[in-house]
Chain A
Amino acid sequence: MHIMEGFLPIGHAAAWTAIAAPFVVTGARRLARQLRDRPQDRLPLAAAGAFVFVLSALKLPSVTGSCSHPTGTGFGALAFGPPTMAALGTVVLLFQALLLAHGGLTTLGANVVSMAVAGPWTSWAVYRLATGLRAPQGLSVFLAACLGDLATYTVTSLQLALAFPAASGGVAAAFLKFAGIFALTQVPLAIAEGLLTVVMVNALEARGMAALSGKLTEVRP
């Protein structure tokens, strides 16, 4: 889902940066407040950030014959809410832009919107919907993480389609082209991410943490 450095026209890059900025600022302030007021959240917060770090480093082969990576943002979105993930996701994207030449500074805004905003909010909404429909917790977590992952790559495809509409067929045709590259590749990876997120939630809950109360806290005295 990384749009490479310089691969968005200046106007688009600026617009996505402007859209991303309020989410990142809100998330960073919320994260800072949480770290100050709830020191007991520091460990689980570190776990949520670490989950994104690990999963977004794993480039996995897919059935389309190309490789892509999961995002890992669904877990944190369920545990702490989507705004916190806007801040944590931005840290990961900055690391990759500066040290790995993966993504970029000019495309950071667009990448933040797809991976750190659209994905987490989709996960959160899917989880609310699924639990509202009385789906079992495991299934709800799976669907939330899986669809959040797919949402990230769908938004990336849309961002590129808006910037590079096809000569014939316009934005819609370009979206299908980019979705063929990104979203299709992502389907099996999103399923894998859904499974791993369930594993993560189970592992934390087996250790006495209520992972999905909206605010991950230790229930053990």
Chain B
Amino acid sequence: MSRRGNAALALAAAAIAAAPLALPVGGDFGGSDDKAAAAIAATGYRPWFTPLWKPPSTEVESLLFALQAALGAGTLGYVLGRTHGGRPPGKADDGEH
């Protein structure tokens, strides 16, 4: 797979993620986890255990989610960059794969 082919695949994934926002889709784009919890609560069930700690606000929650993504992306970038740097000189970046 060429580098261009890979970029096209990544773009297609991004388009799939963005499409629902552009299409006339109803709904508030809440989390499906919360919708399931609400469906369960509607049956009269009450949870018997609550989280030990909750992010005090959606800001703090988004901070932690961003941190999670940043740690993952940073590690991925490190691995790809490091293996990239070890390539024997003169070999093409893409091509045969």
Contacts and interface: CB of A to CB of B under 8 A. Distances in A.
Interface residues on B, range: 35 or more
Interface string A157-195: 000100010000000000001100110011011011101
A203 to B, nearest CB: 6
A46 B26 CA distance: 39
A217 B88 CA distance: 17
Interface in B25-52: 25-37, 39-40, 43, 45, 47-52
Interface in A102-143: 102, 104-106, 138
Contacts of A209: 83
A85 interface: no
B9 A198 contact: yes
Nearest to B65: A57
Measured as residues with beta carbon below 8 angstroms from the partner, the interface class of chain A is: 35 or more
A170 to B, nearest CB: 13
A220 B87 contact: yes
A138 B53 CA distance: 42
A42 to B, nearest CB: 9
Given A49-B75, A97-B51, A101-B53, A204 B32 contact: no
A98 B52 contact: yes
Given A50-B71, A62-B20, A188-B19, A206 B97 contact: yes
Given A100-B64, A195-B12, A43 B83 contact: yes
Contacts of A50: 71-76, 79
A104 B73 contact: no
Identify the 5 closest CB pairs spanning chains A and B, nearest first.
A65-B27, A6-B47, A53-B72, A54-B72, A50-B75
30 contacts: A4-B36, A43-B82, A46-B78, A47-B75, A50-B76, A51-B72, A56-B68, A62-B32, A63-B23, A63-B25, A65-B26, A65-B28, A65-B29, A66-B32, A67-B29, A67-B31, A68-B31, A68-B33, A99-B64, A101-B54, A160-B36, A188-B16, A188-B17, A189-B17, A192-B16, A196-B13, A198-B1, A202-B5, A206-B94, A220-B88
Given A101-B55, A198-B9, 16 more contacts: A4-B34, A5-B50, A5-B51, A7-B45, A9-B48, A47-B75, A50-B71, A65-B28, A67-B32, A68-B31, A96-B68, A105-B49, A160-B40, A164-B40, A177-B39, A202-B97
